[in-house]
Structure 1
Amino acid sequence: MRAVRGATQLEVDERDHLLERVAEMVTGVMTSNQLEVEDFISIVFTSTSDLVSEFPAYAARRLGFGDVPLICARELEIAGSMPRVVRMMAHVETDLTRADVTHVYLHGAAALRRDLTRVHAVPDEA
């Protein structure tokens, strides 16, 4: 079992945009680590307090995570922290070593943990 992290930043707090960005993050974690829905034990999603348009877990449900335990929580409100961010920590069954797990940080959230991630697949649009 391994934990895989991901994060994405939204441009605006709009339901369709949130669902799109969270789905992109979840599928990015799956693709980067060669995972199927059946490999997921659970996922914890957090979001910053400025995101209220939808539960991030709903995006995963729409991807087929119907029987995977999912939960959403509020991120800590730390002065100066990045706004409009959804994070995830998934517990998965995999043969990957800890060093081989790819954490996925997208859009503005790529700046959060450059030390952890090898995937910056979607650059910010200029």
Structure 2
Amino acid sequence: MEVVKGIRGAITVTENSAEAIEEQTKKLLTEIFLQNNLKKEKIISIFFTLTPDLNAQFPATAARKAGLTEVPLLCAQEIAVPGSLKKVIRILILTYLPENQKVHHLYLEGAKVLRPDF
């Protein structure tokens, strides 16, 4: 039986450029898809957020270029909390997965400090 599950992740970007945002978004998506054995036809939606210092590109653009053309995508800006990690792309994927499948949340590169428990 399949159920709806949420998968979280984040990755840092070295600079505020369209190329860097697209490259890191693609890397994060690729790793999450591989680690969780995701199928794009099972994805319900993907929600991206970026820290306020990233505004050169929508992460959804990278997702569309990666073939997620039928998946509802949404981008938003994170709250500017003083002292928080800069240049971060976060993701929440809602998908159908087998009830007994373990979810692998991925925090890559500089974003590893956000969730050291993963």
| Same fold, judged at TM 0.5 (above) | yes
What is residue 110 of structure 1 aligned with on the other side? 112
Q: Distance in 2 between matches of 1:12 and 1:112?
A: 19
Corresponding letter in the other structure for 1:108: G
Deviation, 1:96, is 5.0
What is residue 123 of structure 1 aligned with on the other side? none
Q: Distance in 1 between matches of 2:16 and 2:67?
A: 24
Unaligned runs of 5+ in 2: none
The farther-off stretch of 35-44 and 79-88 is 35-44
Percent identical pairs in the alignment equals: 37
Q: Distance in 1 between matches of 2:28 and 2:59?
A: 11
- Residues 4-50 of structure 1 deviation map (CA, whole Å, 9 limit, x = unaligned): 00100011111111101000001111000001211210000000000
Is 1:21 matched with 2:42? Answer: no
Q: Distance in 2 between matches of 1:104 and 1:55?
A: 20
Corresponding letter in the other structure for 1:28: E
What is residue 84 of structure 1 aligned with on the other side? 87
Match of 1:58 among 44, 58, 61: 61
Q: Distance in 1 between matches of 2:104 and 2:84?
A: 24
Q: Distance in 2 between matches of 1:64 and 1:96?
A: 26
Q: Distance in 2 between matches of 1:22 and 1:35?
A: 16
- Residues 91-111 of structure 1 deviation map (CA, whole Å, 9 limit, x = unaligned): 01111547x100011110011
**Which structure would you say has the larger RCO, counting Cα contacts within 8 Å and 6 or more residues apart?**
2
Correspondence 1:4-19 to 2 at 5 A: 4-19=7-22
Q: Distance in 1 between matches of 2:100 and 2:50?
A: 28
What SS class does the counterpart of residue 83 from structure 1 fall into? coil
Q: Distance in 2 between matches of 1:76 and 1:9?
A: 16
C-alpha RMSD over aligned residues? 1.1
Q: Distance in 1 between matches of 2:26 and 2:99?
A: 23
Unaligned runs of 5+ in 1: 118-126
TM-score (norm 2): 0.93
What is residue 33 of structure 2 aligned with on the other side? 30
Report the number of matched residues.
115
Q: Distance in 2 between matches of 1:102 and 1:9?
A: 18
